[in-house]
Structure 1
């Protein structure tokens, strides 16, 4: 496939395969991680795979690469798995929503406002995720977890979602764009590295991202109000295995690898929670903070704001999502309302 480019051609030639000197009973795993500039990748995922041999008593050896190391784009992650170039891949759901709209149902803006809500929703939706990955992508679901919620950085004093009316807002995807527009704002597409200058020059009035990403990129210097209501959803991530690879493992190997990944999943959830709160602390100049201290004003989300987003989820976002999802699965809507809808108290 042409989209892999020279990097994957080189990998296919042997860079990621087992060395002849390795013991015959060691299974080599080719792993593609998400973007390497994320602390989840640096502090948890890469060390996990580097030590997978120790963790599994020598059953596995892994070669871990991040998607940006290979010059690939986020939407290509599932394709690399299907091609056989990798055995296990991690990816953020929103990046593959175009070819996998059923998966996007796990992270619709307005369905979760806390990490507890999000974990509840992902647990409820897990059978749908497993079926979709199996039938359409020949893949097995291994973990579900999340980056920090996608929240709002705004210039000036913004006291509620009503104040988004008439403002230009950098969004994180089609559904957050629809939500902003339903709130009376104008959605703008802008790459992450361009947002600082965009806020400074007035190209946008507000921007959506995670609290820690915005802090590490100094958005607090060019914005004043921080609204933690997740108008961009969360950043749900999946680890999935190529089914042909998984099925070749012995039952003992499957249990061992699945057990270790379950521990990694727990650590990733904990980091998501901690980094979300830590990023908020940093932006508003509060400790503990592992980043840069800012002087933003934290605008706590009100029950009225949450209810408004929840109402727009039902009236605007779900119908928009279903336009694509129904084309991929005739049971998409029913599956969602019977799982996440039931768990979150959202009915058609």
Structure 2
């Protein structure tokens, strides 16, 4: 018996030594990041956060982070690969995945978020609706929403007003924006961000829409001549985690993770706004220009009529077009949008 007691005591000590270490075993997650081609938000905010994940979150989590354009996965397939369990966290490209889940696009209808302050209010108002839908349909939980910033017009032909794009081919990235370009008289051409520089260079399109900082990073001013700083959409993106990964964490760990992502997205909102004005300056060769390369685009200030045309797009085009599509797959889609985002924009609920 004494020998057995000694063995049991030794096992008890060994178990006591193992348990704390086991409790702190590193959790490993796989994450999809934004494309490298999108520039400074990916480079200076997102990637450092994921590469220093344990320090940023205070959790024993190590993340294998890969920008999506290094993975051989299309940015329109993010929700599908998450649902299939291939990744744990995704830097979700909202408009690009709206074909798989139209509810997403309610975050960023054309004309709904002409500035950062309004964009924040819209994102906050609609966050819970999107989160619930992603959990239901894709087993994915939304952790935060952030903007690349106002998406503006770049053209390789002279323009003096928005109506000048009539008859021109314009690169777009979602159906909502495409319908608006049609309204103005342009021909929308869906092209991925990575392929747009070449498409402008070869004349596949005459104009293209993106944020000024992303355009600067990707060299669009090399193949365009005019820039119109009129925001069509805020280019909202999000961070989401698979419910399997989320449920593997304890409640206190979930709270820490949520707080860390809220901090990251708050930081990106602020950074995005500073980048926007600086990039507008860089693209037209003005100072201060601290974040990009100087070019010599002609800046075309939008007129009051241009601004009103985009603002009115919500009720005239983007909301009705989106509602028809979204309500087919999600019967309460537009109703929930009108109840949550409608008041933010001063639109009466239907």
What TM-score comes out, normalization by structure 2 length? Answer: 0.86
- The corresponding residue for 1:246 is 246
Q: 1:72–1:198: structure 2 CA closer, same or farther, 3 Å change rule?
A: closer
Aligned 8 A contact 2:24 2:60 in 1: no
CA distance in 2, matches of 1:61, 1:216: 29
Query: Could you tell me how far 1:344 is from its partner in structure 2?
Result: 1.1
Query: Could you tell me how far 1:285 is from its partner in structure 2?
Result: 0.8
Q: Per-residue displacement from partner, 1:215-239 (whole Å, max 9, x unpaired)?
A: 23333233332111123x2221111
- The corresponding residue for 1:40 is 41
Q: 1:226–1:25: structure 2 CA closer, same or farther, 3 Å change rule?
A: same
Q: How does 1:88-237 map to 2 (within 5 A)?
A: 88-192=89-193, 194-196=195-197, 198-200=199-201, 202-231=203-232, 233-237=233-237
CA distance in 2, matches of 1:141, 1:238: 7
Q: 1:345–1:46: structure 2 CA closer, same or farther, 3 Å change rule?
A: same
- The corresponding residue for 1:332 is 333
Q: 1:334–1:282: structure 2 CA closer, same or farther, 3 Å change rule?
A: same
Aligned 8 A contact 2:57 2:256 in 1: yes
Count of aligned residue pairs for this structure pair: 327
Query: Could you tell me how far 1:304 is from its partner in structure 2?
Result: 2.4
Q: How does 1:1-12 map to 2 (within 5 A)?
A: none
Aligned 8 A contact 2:115 2:234 in 1: no
| Structure 1: segments with no counterpart, 5+ residues | 1-20
Q: 1:22–1:210: structure 2 CA closer, same or farther, 3 Å change rule?
A: farther
Query: Could you tell me how far 1:191 is from its partner in structure 2?
Result: 4.4
CA distance in 2, matches of 1:302, 1:321: 27
Name which one, 1 or 2, has greater alpha-carbon Rg: 2
Aligned 8 A contact 1:59 1:253 in 2: no
SS at match of 2:149: coil
Aligned 8 A contact 1:110 1:306 in 2: no
| Structure 2: segments with no counterpart, 5+ residues | 1-20
Q: Per-residue displacement from partner, 1:286-338 (whole Å, max 9, x unpaired)?
A: 12222221222222223322221222331222222122200121111111111
- The corresponding residue for 1:71 is 72
Q: 1:29–1:338: structure 2 CA closer, same or farther, 3 Å change rule?
A: same
SS at match of 1:240: strand
Aligned 8 A contact 1:182 1:312 in 2: no
Aligned 8 A contact 2:152 2:210 in 1: yes
Taking only aligned residues, the RMSD between alpha carbons, in angstroms, comes to 2.2
Q: 1:333–1:262: structure 2 CA closer, same or farther, 3 Å change rule?
A: same
- The corresponding residue for 1:287 is 287
- The corresponding residue for 2:322 is 321
SS at match of 2:179: helix
Query: Could you tell me how far 1:214 is from its partner in structure 2?
Result: 2.0
